[in-house]
Amino acid sequence: MVSVKRSAVTPSKSRWARTFSKIFHIGDVTAKGSDDQIQETLSDEKMADNPIMNRKLPSDDEDEEIRDRAVKEAFLSKLFASLSTVKAAYAQLQFAQSPYDADGIQSADQIIVSELMNLSELKQCYLKNQLNETSPEATQISAEIQEQKSLLRTYEIMSKKLDYQLKLKNSEITFLKEKLAEANRDNKSLEKRLYSSGQLAVPDNIHLSGLSPSHFVAYLRQSIKSVRSFVRLLISEMESAGWDLDAAATSIEPDVFFWKPNHKCFAFESFVCKEMFDGFNYPNFSADHESLLEQKKQQQLFFDEFMELKSVRPADYLAWKPKSTFATFCQTKYLRLIHPKMESSLSGDLDQWKSVNSGEYPEVPFFLSFAEMAKRIWLLHCLAFSFDPKVSIFQVSKKSRFSEVYMESLSDEAFLSSDGTPENYPHVAFAVVPGFRIGKTVIQCQVYLH
């Protein structure tokens, strides 16, 4: 019988001890004696390097400091939540006053009184250092929720207030539109009465001996009206062709601030008037045509031409007298006013421009609108040379100080922005329609102010 001698340490337990030592790094582990007993020895140096064994538990003082901080944060959260509630209630109180809402005012008042009492209690707790909270974390979360609800309520009230103000403004706009329409109707009625009384009407039975400034003013109004009609058509054509109207207006009148976006049309009117009225003081708009006729004969000549053209369509007159002075005037002004590049951009080709340049006058809407404007200005020119002394034209220069005697403003906004001092008094940005003198009578020029 073979006997086997047992080792002093069980191999399995010895391996367990070594494995435990490697995992936890707590020093050498030795097992002595029986299988049920294991002795562990820990080195002092390795224990000093072990983070698990070295971790310190919070002391009572540290616990108290953390809790005190949490209590203070909870107190501040309650304070800000209460203030937000007061702010929301005050917003509701303001909103309920206009339009008047008695229930809304009473509800807001109760909330404000309640929150002011709550704030007073918080103040007393702070002064007496009684900020004890059984659960400061829960209190802080609850207070933050209350604050967010109050902020949301404030925004809702402000949104309602803005909606109400928008409706009020829309109502005011509707009312003003109705007043404007009523004023326009009254103006048209008054204009008809003035025309019927002969004060503004363009008389059919006008005589050379009976000319008066009112006749000239009546035809000037028609001329300005035809200029603006042509400018509207020109702007419409430019928009359809993809022009940058802002850039075009700036190129005509640079460094000008326009009070309203639609005021840019005055820059185009200024450009058209400058071209069309250029040379107005000369017979037939040219210094080369200075008449050698005596004054009376020249007056009669221009008056006869005025009477011949005033009742005829411009297209018919051009077809009837293609070599007349009026035809020459139309040709010259059209070629100066409408550049070939503009013509090509608006119509896609130069056929119309070439026709006018060759002395032909196409019956297309754009040229017919121009011809109507040209006729009105030509009639005004003929009428001016029918007066004795003849009517003279005048312009005002840029940066001139506004004068009510010689100028009519097209931008009254300039007066609203002025404080009345000489430095800030409105000045001329550019002239739109020229002015005229008939003896001692002055017809104001129209200007755009800044």
Token look-up 């702010």 returns 87
Q: How many CB atoms lie within 10 A of CB 268?
A: 23
The alpha carbon of 296 is separated from its chain's Cα centroid by a whole number of angstroms, namely 57
Q: How confident is the model at residue 9 (pLDDT cuts 50, 70, 90)?
A: very low
Q: Is residue 300 part of a domain?
A: yes
Give the pairing type, strands 407-409 and 445-449: parallel
The Cα 166–Cα 174 span in angstroms is: 12
Q: Is residue 189 part of a domain?
A: no
SS3 for 428? strand
- Residues 130-157, mean pLDDT to the nearest whole number: 78
- Among 35-39, 199-203, 437-441, the range scoring the smallest mean pLDDT is 35-39
Query: 334: which 2 tokens?
Result: 């059209």
Same domain, 143 and 71: yes
Q: Is residue 27 a contact partner of residue 43, using CB atoms and an 8 Å limit?
A: yes
Query: 36: which 2 tokens?
Result: 């049920």
Query: Which pLDDT value is given to residue 133?
Result: 67
Domain's final residue, options 151, 170, 189: 170
Query: 194: which 2 tokens?
Result: 């003035």
Same domain, 41 and 104: no
Query: 414: which 2 tokens?
Result: 């300039």
Same domain, 281 and 421: yes
Q: Which of 444, 449, 446, 447 is nearest to 406 (CA)?
A: 444
- Residues 37-55, mean pLDDT to the nearest whole number: 47
**Residue 78: domain span:** 60-170
Query: Which pLDDT value is given to residue 64?
Result: 73
Same domain, 254 and 381: yes
pLDDT tens-digit map of 191-204: 666 555 544 455 56
Q: What is the reported pTM?
A: 0.57
Q: Is residue 33 part of a domain?
A: yes
Q: Is residue 380 a contact partner of residue 220, using CB atoms and an 8 Å limit?
A: yes
**Whether residue 269 has pLDDT greater than 90:** yes
Share of the chain above pLDDT 70, in %: 79
- List all residues 6 or more positions away from 215 whose beta carbon is below 8 Å from its beta carbon: 202, 203, 206, 383
Average per-residue pLDDT for the chain: 79
Top pLDDT among 344 and 180 is at 344
The Cα 434–Cα 428 span in angstroms is: 13
Q: Is residue 266 part of a domain?
A: yes
- Based on its alpha-carbon atoms, the radius of gyration of the chain, rounded to whole angstroms, reads 47
Q: Is residue 6 part of a domain?
A: no
Same domain, 28 and 107: no
Q: Is residue 176 part of a domain?
A: no
Sign of CA dihedral 374, 220, 200, 267: positive
| Helix spans in 4-135 (H) | 11-24, 44-49, 51-54, 60-97, 102-127
Same domain, 123 and 271: no
Same domain, 316 and 415: yes
Query: Which pLDDT value is given to residue 13?
Result: 39
Same domain, 378 and 314: yes
Q: Is residue 96 a contact partner of residue 104, using CB atoms and an 8 Å limit?
A: yes
pLDDT tens-digit map of 51-84: 444 555 455 666 777 777 777 777 788 778 878 8
| 312 DSSP 8-state letter | S
Number of domains in the chain: 3
Query: Which pLDDT value is given to residue 206?
Result: 79
Top pLDDT among 165 and 292 is at 165
**Whether residue 187 has pLDDT greater than 80:** no
Sign of CA dihedral 337, 342, 346, 350: positive
- List all residues 6 or more positions away from 441 whose beta carbon is below 8 Å from its beta carbon: 213
Query: Which pLDDT value is given to residue 29?
Result: 40
432: phi then psi, degrees, rounded to nearest 5? -100, -60
Same domain, 264 and 402: yes
Question: Beta partners for 437?
Answer: 392, 442
Same domain, 306 and 426: yes
Query: 136: which 2 tokens?
Result: 């400061």
Using alpha carbons, list the distances in angstroms from residue 436 to 46, 220, 449.
111, 10, 19
Q: Is residue 111 a contact partner of residue 90, using CB atoms and an 8 Å limit?
A: no
The alpha carbon of 288 is separated from its chain's Cα centroid by a whole number of angstroms, namely 50
Same domain, 138 and 21: no
411: phi then psi, degrees, rounded to nearest 5? -140, 80
Secondary structure percentages of the chain, helix, strand, coil, to 5: 65, 5, 30
Same domain, 302 and 422: yes
Query: Which pLDDT value is given to residue 367?
Result: 92
Domain's final residue, options 119, 154, 170: 170
Q: Is residue 113 part of a domain?
A: yes
Q: Is residue 199 part of a domain?
A: no
The Cα 309–Cα 356 span in angstroms is: 20
Query: 5: which 2 tokens?
Result: 């001698």
